Amino acid sequence: MQAKHPPEATTVPSSSPTGETVLRTYGLTKHYGSRIAVHQLNLEIRRGEIVGFLGPNGAGKTTTIRMILGLITPTAGRVELFGHDLATERASILPRIGTLVESPALYLHLSARDNLRAFGDVLGGVSRQRIEEVLELVGLQARQRDRARTYSLGMKQRLAIGIALLNNPDLLILDEPANGLDPAGIVEMRDLLRQLADADKTVFLSSHFLGEVQQICARVLFFNAGKLVADKRVAELLRGQGEFVVQLEHPHEALILLQQQSWGQSARLDGAGAILTSAPNESGRELFVFLSQSGFPPESLSPAAQNLEEVFFSIIHTHEGDN
């Protein structure tokens, strides 16, 4: 029983959190006058995780990231990084974090290597060897001597991440790292983030690019109207809701029959003419037998995978009344 047109293949990245908590927030809240930008946020991120932070415009993602970085002060609640309180131990915490929060401020007249040197000098203690390592990590060796002005946006973005990596941070926080990138730049960014994951970095990134998050992150946090509305493993989200995709010869007739069953009331056709349906006792085998015995033998039948975008909109839709 294999689908002729299986749902779009999705590689779900693995994460290898080792258990050590890198970031924890307690009731983190930010008000701007009467506007509640972030409300009572409790979250925990462990070492080695790559966590995506998703939400529509104005959901509170940037405000949260700014509070985590100590750039703005929470109205209430607190942030703990590496087990230390940000409010009281900021100086020892911040060197352990690499960030890309706004458009990268690069020296466009300098090469990648010289940009890294210049930023390394400001940070202090960045060895020549580390600069080589970073150039390799962000894939800019071949263009390391060209001026940054001549780089594509994707290359500039990678250089900015390289700068964030100079002091070998334990946690990387990226606000919309794929912003403004064309498809090729997005692929470059994705490859880089995957490499960082392989290097056991903890990465927390916000994004509007759901497809990218799906491919890079093992866990996603959905934010809406200042609240965390879902915290899910990507693999779990994509497993779907126990539905099946069925292809058969007379889909419209079969659909009517399915919709008459107590378990099949939400059966529907997808854009390609296949049926999406639940199954009796959530069993694909029972669905296959039912359809075959009813005169609609399936040509193919397989579990339906969900697209993260659909999940996102359904979660946001569920919480629309929260605004």
The residue ranges that bind ligand ATP (CB under 6 A) are 32, 35, 37, 55, 57-63
When the beta carbons of 116 and 315 are compared against ligand ATP, the nearer one is: 315
When the beta carbons of 30 and 113 are compared against ligand ATP, the nearer one is: 30
**Cα(275)–Cα(293) distance, integer angstroms:** 17
When the beta carbons of 37 and 45 are compared against ligand ATP, the nearer one is: 37
**Cα(112)–Cα(140) distance, integer angstroms:** 7
CA proximity to 137, closest of 102, 108, 106, 112: 112
Q: Are 317 and 323 in contact (CB under 8 A)?
A: no
Beta bridge partners of 99: 173
3-state helix, strand, coil in the chain (%, to 5): 40, 25, 35
Whole-number minimum distance, CB 158 to ligand ATP, in Å?
22
**Cα(285)–Cα(262) distance, integer angstroms:** 17
Whole-number minimum distance, CB 10 to ligand ATP, in Å?
24
Whole-number minimum distance, CB 144 to ligand ATP, in Å?
32
- Exposure b/e, 260-281, CB count within 10 A at least 16 = b: ebebbeebeeeeeebbbbbbee
Whole-number minimum distance, CB 66 to ligand ATP, in Å?
8
When the beta carbons of 6 and 27 are compared against ligand ATP, the nearer one is: 27
When the beta carbons of 35 and 252 are compared against ligand ATP, the nearer one is: 35
Whole-number minimum distance, CB 11 to ligand ATP, in Å?
26
Whole-number minimum distance, CB 235 to ligand ATP, in Å?
25
For residue 160, with 0-12 CB atoms within 10 Å meaning exposed, 13-18 middle and 19 or more buried, which class applies?
A: buried
CA 96 from chain center: how many Å?
22
When the beta carbons of 62 and 111 are compared against ligand ATP, the nearer one is: 62
